Amino acid sequence: MNNVNDLIATRLLEIEAVKVQPDSPFTWASGWLSPFYCDNRKTLSYPDLRGLIRDSLCKLIEDEFPSFDTVAGVATGAIAQGALVADVVTLCGFGSLRTFMRVFKKEEQVTPGQYRALHI
């Protein structure tokens, strides 16, 4: 496996969270039709996968949106993942991810992602 995306995709297939029905598309809550469906709720029953998704989302947010003040999951399947990301911030004792990032960078002179790359 080349990267975390491959690992997550493989695990989603292993737990049968991904369904493919090209002849009978799924209707999403938005009304869109799709031949694919990923039941993100299933990931909550697998702590290793749940943590991998949470950590990957945290890294993606840090890399792509370095300055923000709110984390939210959208209906229907991402509410839990948004809550998991927000929990990382709360467990560290910060009121927001933005505050955590600012304090971390002040203390370590690098962002959490840079720190991870250097030390892990």
pLDDT at 17: 93
Q: Residue 68 sits in which domain range?
A: 4-119
How many structural domains are present in the chain? 1
pLDDT score recorded for residue 69: 66
Question: Please, what is the end-to-end C-alpha distance for the chain in angstroms?
Answer: 18
Pairing of strands 36-38, 18-20: antiparallel
In the chain, DSSP finds a helix count (H) and a strand count (E) of 5, 4
Q: What is the pLDDT of residue 1?
A: 47
Q: Where are the beta strands (DSSP E) in 10-107?
A: 18-20, 26-27, 33-34, 36-38
Question: How confident is the model at residue 91, as a pLDDT?
Answer: 65
Per-residue pLDDT of the chain (120 residues; tens, 9 = 90+): 469 899 999 999 999 999 999 999 999 877 889 999 888 888 888 888 988 888 888 788 778 877 766 666 666 666 677 777 777 766 666 666 677 777 778 877 888 778 777 775
Tell me how far apart the 2 most distant CA atoms of the chain are, in Å.
55
> What pLDDT was estimated at residue 95?
66
Q: Which two tokens stand for residue 116?
A: 């991870």
CATH of the domain at 40: 3.40.50.2020
